[in-house]
């Protein structure tokens, strides 16, 4: 652990490489599998108002760790965390801090369930900590998603440091065609709404 490690993160168990194991991570055959959410984690996080990362009671403000595309549609597949826990995740998680790292989807355990919603299976290269006072879970056919509401603070990171405007804009531009393809299938109104959401997201990009 480093001096900047929040106390709640330092209290988490560590894996064999020394990485803190977030509260939501499932343990498979005695080994944490960072790709898998433990059964009931989303339900319990909502019911008991727990931080998604450290598992301790959440505060007044909520911080979502999301990708740039979630800044456009303002939807997350995971519950919020403490602000300091979210910043730690955005600046220390190997997947979030290494743009070249890809998601491993082989040898997933039996019974594994994908998160709700339509996941963009890529490493966006940029992580966003979206701090908000108002957020709302909502049900979909695939499970629970989260409307992240309006932000009171947005913190953009790339490779474990504050992201540049160019990095954020490039990440948004590379992912936008995937959202646009979905909007086109839904019709003209969805395309107009996506354009509005895109403009709103760009207004949050760092100077």
Check if the beta carbon of residue 167 is closer than 8 Å to that of residue 106.
no
CA distance 95 to 159: 9
CA distance readout (Å), 165 to 64, 94, 125, 155, 168 = 20, 22, 13, 12, 5
Whole-number pLDDT of residue 18 = 92
Can you give the pTM of this predicted structure?
A: 0.87
pLDDT at 76: 96
- The pLDDT of residue 2 is 45
Q: What is the pLDDT of residue 3?
A: 46
**C-beta separation of 27 from 38 below 8 A:** yes
Secondary structure, 3-state, 159-196: CCEECCHHHHHHHHHHHHHHHHHHHHHHCHHHHHHHHH
| pLDDT at res. 73 | 95
* Positions of the chain with pLDDT lower than 70, given as ranges: 1-3, 100-122
For 63, the token pair is 């911080």
Give the model's pLDDT for residue 115: 57
pLDDT of residue 113: 57
């Amino acid at each position: 652990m480093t001096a900047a490690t929040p106390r709640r993160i330092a209290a988490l168990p560590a894996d064999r490489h020394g990485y803190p194991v977030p509260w939501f991570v499932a343990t498979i055959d005695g080994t944490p599998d960072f790709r898998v959410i433990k059964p009931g984690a989303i339900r319990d996080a909502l019911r008991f108002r727990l931080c998604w990362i450290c598992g301790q009671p959440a505060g007044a403000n909520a911080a979502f760790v999301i990708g740039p595309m979630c800044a456009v549609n303002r939807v997350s597949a995971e519950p919020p965390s403490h602000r300091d826990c979210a910043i730690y995740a955005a600046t220390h998680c190997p997947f979030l801090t290494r743009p070249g790292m890809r998601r491993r989807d082989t040898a997933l355990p039996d019974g594994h369930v994908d998160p709700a919603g339509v996941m963009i299976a890529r490493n966006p290269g940029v992580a966003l900590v979206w701090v908000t006072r108002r957020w709302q879970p909502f049900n979909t056919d695939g499970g629970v998603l989260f409307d992240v509401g309006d932000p009171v603070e947005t913190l953009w990171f790339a490779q474990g440091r504050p992201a540049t405007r160019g990095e954020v804009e490039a990440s948004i531009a590379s992912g936008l065609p995937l959202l646009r393809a979905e909007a086109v299938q839904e019709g003209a109104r969805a395309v107009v709404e996506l354009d509005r959401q895109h403009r709103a997201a760009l207004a949050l990009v760092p100077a």
